[in-house]
Amino acid sequence: MKKIFALALCAVMMLSVLAGCGGNKNDAPADNTPAQNEPAAPAENTPDAPEAGGTIGVCIYQFTDAFMTTYRNALQEILEGKGYQVTVVDGANDQAKQNEQINTFITQGVDALIINPVMTSAADQIISTVKNAGIPTVLINREPTAEQMAVYDKLVYVGCDAAQSGTFQGELILDTANKGDINGDGKVSYIMVQGDPENIDAQLRTEYSVKALKDAGVEVEELNLTRGDWMRERGQEIVANDLAQFGAQVEVVFCNNDDMAIGALQSIQAAGRKVNEDIYLVGVDALDAALNEVSNGNMTGTVLNDAVGQATAAVEQMELLLGGKTYASGEQSVYVDYVKVTPDNVKDFMG
Ligand code: BGC
């Protein structure tokens, strides 16, 4: 009896699926069938033919972030240049606020999302939200794990390999005349100004910058490590305090990004120190302000974090998703290379 009921239910379900197909808006109404030799009207909403001028929602973790400002401006320009309607919103470093923004975009029916998460730890929640809504999504700048991304095949991450930028910072110090050991005591004494440690860029730059020195056989001494949350004012405060405490012992100032390095430079100068003479200073991003300082000799070097390259790649991946591409697990990260910037090549990066 149960079996018969199940079969009957199946039949009803099949009928309703067929009825659903009959209601497809691509079907031409019976009284309007095109004449035989007329070309068929182009199909709407086919997966490989994204509408020109589709709508895109872009969520940025915080508008006041210097690097993400360059990045979001590049994204907006590229997307608008291609005829998309773009709305870019500021998460104001508040994950709850960003979750609402994502939900609003979904309710509005955007064609795709580009999301710079406020917190990497919120990736699971973000991914399940966009998956349930079936929205093709490109995550940028804050990389989740491969396992987190694997649950949704219309999701891809575009960014850089954070470890590489740390290694390059270490190499910038190794390339100096005394490999960072200014006072010749056989070890490099440094302070580390860290970004938001919740973010993998901050974790890996901190680790790999120092690892590059150790791997080259250089002895290191960490005088202090302080989180500066990527912000210029924090870089300034931290380095002012560290220089007051450790004075001439400080040979190298590692900053996880350029904005903090620019703040650090203000304190280095205020303390009467001179970069590349009695202290070294490195950052990451290649912000315009940092490129100027590298070229003036006030920063030892920086690492290009290619905002335009990443924005271009993010839009490319978004268009592939709109064209119906799905991603296999383990293949959901697309990387753009970092580039070392020194006084020798800095001109190549200046506008
Ligand atoms: C950049 C930082 C920025 C951070 C934001 C990093 O890749 O180097 O400047 O603050 O991303 O997540």
Q: Is 309 exposed, middle or buried (0-12, 13-18, 19+ CB in 10 A)?
A: middle
pLDDT at 52: 59
CB-CB contact of 141 with 186 (8 Å): no
What is the CATH number assigned to the segment(s) 163-305?
3.40.50.2300
Nearest Cα neighbor of 287 from 76, 118, 68, 140 is 68
pLDDT in tens, the chain (351 residues): 333 333 333 333 333 333 333 233 233 333 333 333 333 333 334 444 444 579 999 999 999 999 999 999 999 999 999 999 999 999 999 999 999 999 999 999 999 999 999 999 999 999 999 999 999 999 999 999 999 999 999 999 999 999 999 999 999 999 999 999 999 999 999 999 999 999 999 999 999 999 999 999 999 999 999 999 999 999 999 999 999 999 999 999 999 999 999 999 999 999 999 999 999 999 999 999 999 999 999 999 999 999 999 999 999 999 999 999 999 999 999 999 999 999 999 999 998
Q: Name which residue sits closest to atom 10 of ligand 1, judged by CA.
A: 230
Domain residue limits, the chain: 47-160+307-336, 163-305
Evaluate: CB of 142 within 6 angstroms of ligand 1: yes
Distance 305 CA to ligand 1 centre (A): 9
Distance 198 CA to ligand 1 centre (A): 12
Q: For the chain, give me the number of helices (H) and strands (E)?
A: 11, 12
* Cross-strand bridge partners of residue 225: 192
pLDDT at 8: 37
Tell me how far apart the alpha carbons of residues 178 and 183 are, in angstroms, rounded to a whole number: 9
CB-CB contact of 268 with 279 (8 Å): yes
How much is the pTM? 0.85
47-160+307-336 and 163-305 have identical folds: yes
How far, CA to CA in Å, does 225 sit from each of 142, 186, 221?
22, 21, 11
pLDDT at 16: 33
The matching CATH number, chosen from 3.40.50.2300, 3.30.420.40, 3.40.50.280, 3.90.76.10, for 47-160+307-336 is 3.40.50.2300
Distance 351 CA to ligand 1 centre (A): 21
Phi, psi angle pair for 51, to nearest 5°: -60, 135
Phi, psi angle pair for 348, to nearest 5°: -65, -20
Pocket test for ligand 1, best of 59, 68, 193 (most atoms within 8 A of CB): 68
Evaluate: CB of 257 within 6 angstroms of ligand 1: yes
Distance 9 CA to ligand 1 centre (A): 55
Tell me how far apart the alpha carbons of residues 222 and 52 are, in angstroms, rounded to a whole number: 54
Of the CA atoms within 13 Å of residue 113, those in its CB half-sphere come to 30
Distance between terminal CA atoms of the chain? 78
Pocket test for ligand 1, best of 59, 67, 302 (most atoms within 8 A of CB): 67
pLDDT at 37: 36
Amino acid at 184: G
For residue 207 the two structure tokens come to: 């680790």
Phi, psi angle pair for 312, to nearest 5°: -65, -45
pLDDT at 147: 96
Three-class secondary structure of residue 137 per DSSP: strand
Three-class secondary structure of residue 108 per DSSP: helix
The residues near 213 (Cβ < 8 Å, ≥ 6 apart) are 170, 173, 174, 179, 180, 188, 220
Query: 137-140 and 188-194: which strand pairing?
Result: unpaired
